Amino acid sequence: MTSELQITPEIEELGLEEYARELDRDGLTIVPPEVNAFGLDRIDRIVERILERAHEMTGVRFTLDEGPLEELEFPEREIPPEIREQIEAAGLLEAVQNPTQFLIQKLTQLDRLFRDLALNPAALALQNYLMAGQTRLSSANCFVKWKGDFGYGPQLGLHADQGATPTPWGAVAHTANSTWCLTDYTLAGGALAYVPGSHREGMPAPPPERVKDAVPAEAPKGSVIVWHGATWHGAFPRKEEGLRLGLAVYHRHAATLPQEDVPGHTTEEMVRDCDNPDVYRVIAGLTDKFPYRETQSEIVPHARQAAAAAGG
């Protein structure tokens, strides 16, 4: 099958053709640290900020080798009985009641390092390839995950991220993910799971039997995993001590709603304090016409000056 997506000048300049072809074929590609060139020194600084923030949010210290140093519990949630039955039938009760991960949100506000990560030219070029040049930020969240046999349950939580947008889907992505591996991604370590080629199925979730087609996205720390919003993915449970940290820079096509109100919370100060203010302004959605924030975004007519003078 030939692609309807066009290789862009940025893809060629950055030598990313093979990654673009893989995205097209499999719906996912892994760009290693030596190709994405973000730099492992900055990845290390990001890991430090994440561990600090995890401590601030939970009151518990985390280390890469040991995970959370104290036992954690989530606030109890009321689940209506009929929903609880559905969750139980899907084999997900344990995942819902005792997850072994949590999310740190709104990271582009926390430190410029996260804005610089979102500006990585290789990751952005692949996002713009998937979205025909119209990529914007949707959210930036870190998945902090530790040992747990259950994870997302027997179905590995397989889903397509662009499930909220209407089908039929086309080649151009409504959303797409650039997840940065802040630690090594391995099968036993709880790597991302995905079904190669599933972006062509055009369905928000696979039928249960397709879990057998899921493979791990194994990658060394500092890699960025880029996948189409239609690609079925989830994750394997982490069987080892320690942490798996995955930083999801989630993108949307300009015509799709963001998860975070990125345009609303991006200040001029944040834009100036990053690697590339002009590009950041665009991906944050600040140069878009919609949604407008002025009371009146279109021009308004008034009585003609000459007529007003003659009449008065």
Give whichever of 22 and 161 is closer to ligand AKG, judged by the CB atom: 161
Each residue 213-242 as x (binds ligand AKG by CB under 6 A) or -, in order, gives --------------------x-x-------
Q: How far is the CB of 60 from ligand AKG (least distance, A)?
A: 20
Q: Residue 173 and residue 202: Cα distance in Å, rounded?
A: 11
284 binds ligand AKG (CB under 6 A): no
What Cα–Cα distance (Å) separates residue 86 from each residue in 96, 97, 217? 12, 14, 29
143 binds ligand AKG (CB under 6 A): yes
Strand partners, 225: 30, 179
In which residue are the tokens 């804005």 written? 115
Beta strands in the chain (DSSP E): 28-31, 62-63, 67-68, 101-104, 135-145, 175-181, 192-194, 215-217, 224-228, 233-235, 244-253
161 binds ligand AKG (CB under 6 A): yes
Q: How far is the CB of 303 from ligand AKG (least distance, A)?
A: 55
Each residue 160-199 as x (binds Fe ion by CB under 5 A) or -, in order, gives -x--------------------------------------
Q: How far is the CB of 152 from ligand AKG (least distance, A)?
A: 7
Number of residues lying near Fe ion (CB under 5 A): 1
Q: Residue 214 and residue 190: Cα distance in Å, rounded?
A: 13
Sign of CA dihedral 143, 149, 153, 157: positive
Q: Residue 259 and residue 302: Cα distance in Å, rounded?
A: 40
Termini Cα distance of the chain:
72
Each residue 125-164 as x (binds Fe ion by CB under 5 A) or -, in order, gives ------------------------------------x---
By the criterion CB under 5 A, which residues form the site for Fe ion? 161
By the criterion CB under 6 A, which residues form the site for ligand AKG? 143, 161, 177, 179, 192, 233, 235, 246, 248
